Structure 1
Amino acid sequence: MNSFGNSDIRLLHVDDDAAFAELVGLSLERRCERFRVVSVGSAREALDRLDEEPAVDCVLSDYDMPEMDGLALLERVRETHPRLPFVLYTAKGGEEIAAEAIGNGVDDYIQKGSSAAHFLTLGTRIEREVARARAEREKQVRLEALEAAREGICIVDADGRFRYANETYLDLYGYERSELVGEPWQRLHTDAAVETIETDVLPHVAEHGQWGGTCVGLRADGTTFRESKSVSTLSGGELVIVVTEHEATDD
């Protein structure tokens, strides 16, 4: 097999039926070159594999296995990999098993099959869960980067209200996140600064996509300060604003 790449889907398939596991692996890899399937014969082996090689994108697990069934494996996996997609793949049908699986937090539940159409569906649903998890992981990484930034960063929605502000931004203006999110951006500026922003800054951003300069910020305690500010447009009409304290003022 080729080494894993960024776009590969690294699937850990757990099934005590070795012949069926081989069929699944070959069928998925033939369907799409992105699949890299590793098969193990028990839940215990799956846990060992995750310890040795945590870079797995999805677990596809049989339900009825000796020693530890698929739902018991799910519970163990969630302890160390809470966001790892887990698909229960079983020959046993019925609403009772499906309800139990969903109640235990499985990401998807699929009954086994052997037709080409079945493996097409299986591959598509695994891809969907992996794409969802990767998007959530990327979003979390970006959020952590924003929170770690030394600059104050906020996002204002198309209606002019705060949708997000990092800790540095909140500290700069003296607010808790719950006090600011949902509020209009005008709350953090003097009347004169609001007029300047509405007259000069926002039209410039609308035309050029960004603006940079200085302005007067208004803290929660009523004091003001000179701020260095950059404003850029995001998709959907949102604005990302980056602020640092430029110079204290008694205005």
Structure 2
Amino acid sequence: MPQKTKVDSGTDELLAETRGRVAVLTLNRPESRNALSKNLSSALGKLLRQFDKDPEIGSILLTGAGGAFCAGGDVKNMAKTAMADLTFEDRVADLRASQQMVWGALIAVRKPTIAAIPGAAAGAGLALALACDLRIAAGSAVFITAYARVALSGDCGIAWLLTRLVGISRACELMFLSERIDMQRAEKIGLVNRVVPAGELQDNSLALAALLAEGPTFAYGLMKDNLDHALTAKFQESMDFEAKNLIRTELSADHQEGVCALAEKRKPNFNST
């Protein structure tokens, strides 16, 4: 078992540790189902950027304490903000900054990111899970967009994320109806990659994160670049973009190691250079 090393997040609302090459971030506000406060959001954004730059980290695992993943924004603080004496422009700017601090940082990570979802993920919390590259969920977890229930249009990239994962028609359905989505349906429509029994979630998600952490991190980053570019590019443009990145990986030490390991019938030892 990899050694656990605690990392100071600056707040008790976010627990952080490394397990070998895996960084584990745990939202820790169980009394509010891990709703995102300003302190939690700030700490989360900071550590996402820190771990993305750390050469000793190969993947990032995001989860929640107390049986929930994340209930979204902190409703109490949202209510206070709504009463504050701010102009429309100031409120837009504040929301844009908070979105970029967490969801923008998560999407920008070039290492594999995994959401381990033990329970409810709602609103901005659902967007947080969807912003990860992969999602593994307990069978008892539930998803809900939630915005329509309080007459809000959505934030934190939820429209982009849902459309990318399930298409425009299904995204409309999920946003308009705001229904509770169980994991059987979530897996069927492509919102989660794997569903496991609740008691096996931690072990399964850590095993997946560890597997990815030992992989070719440099190549993973360029794979993510290719996939992001493909969202808006024409086919020929996408192939041209891939060609440049393929040659970059072909010239890397990781590729040479992979070829040698394949020939020698052994596990490769990637160092992402």
Structure 1 length as normaliser, TM-score? 0.33
Q: Which has the higher contact order (CA 8 A, sep 6+)?
A: 2
Which protein has the bigger helix share? 2
Larger radius of gyration: 1
Structure 2 length as normaliser, TM-score? 0.31
